Amino acid sequence: MRLVLASTSPRRRDLLARIGAAPDRIAAPDIDEDVRAGELPRAYVLRVASEKAHAVARAEGEIVLAGDTTIAVGRRILAKPEDEADLRRMLGLLSGRRHHCLSAVCVIDAAGKARTRVSDTVVAFKRLSQAEIDWYVASGEGMGKAGGYAIQGKAEAFVRFLSGSHSGVVGLPVFETRALLEAAGYQLG
């Protein structure tokens, strides 16, 4: 069976390699990732991962894998920051608080059956000073990242507590992904 990764994220490719999975094809899904009115974080991340997987054409014998990650502070979804001001707002919300990183995976097997799983990781940031926020914003690392931070980079220094899947916070929970690929009949290396 051939594996199609419905993502252009290099982090997701690296995380797949950790479990012995190498995509045979990479496809960039084109979907609307805007949050719908009243949509809660878990439902949002599941919907987006599923829509990404279904947006990619699947040939005979192919398995499609898609993922999505979002940060939730209470019921608020922190998507990717729109600009530096939005990034500063997000870091202010995360400062000194626990939040949830929800990372969903959807795998569509060769027969067309879709399976999903969600990893829910609790992350707590230290209280951030204005100088730390300025430094992180200036680094540019948080732009394009859910919640405005990359735990595998400079923001790791802000994490005082983590309970759950570190790889899920990076962008693809490997435990859940492995289970879904095995259920789909994909042979891991």
Cα–Cα distance between 82 and 58 in angstroms, integer?
Answer: 32
Domain-located, residue 165: yes
- Kindly report the CATH number assigned to the domain that includes residue 124: 3.90.950.10
Catalytic residue among 14, 32, 68, 83: 68
Domain count, the chain: 1
CA angle, corner 177, sides to 71 and 156, nearest 5? 40
Taking the whole predicted model, whether its pTM rises above 0.85 is answered as: yes
Domain-located, residue 39: yes
In this structure, what DSSP letter does residue 83 have?
A: S
Q: How many CA atoms lie within 13 A of 113 on its CB side?
A: 7
Query: Per-residue confidence of the chain (189 residues) as pLDDT tens digits?
Result: 899 999 989 999 999 999 999 999 999 999 999 999 999 999 999 999 999 999 999 999 999 999 999 999 999 999 999 999 999 999 999 999 999 999 999 999 999 999 999 999 999 999 999 999 999 999 999 999 999 999 999 999 999 999 999 999 999 999 999 999 999 999 997
Q: Is 109 a known active-site residue?
A: no
Domain-located, residue 188: no
Instruction: State the residue range of the domain holding 55.
Output: 2-183
Coil, helix or strand for 84?
Answer: helix
Coil, helix or strand for 3?
Answer: strand
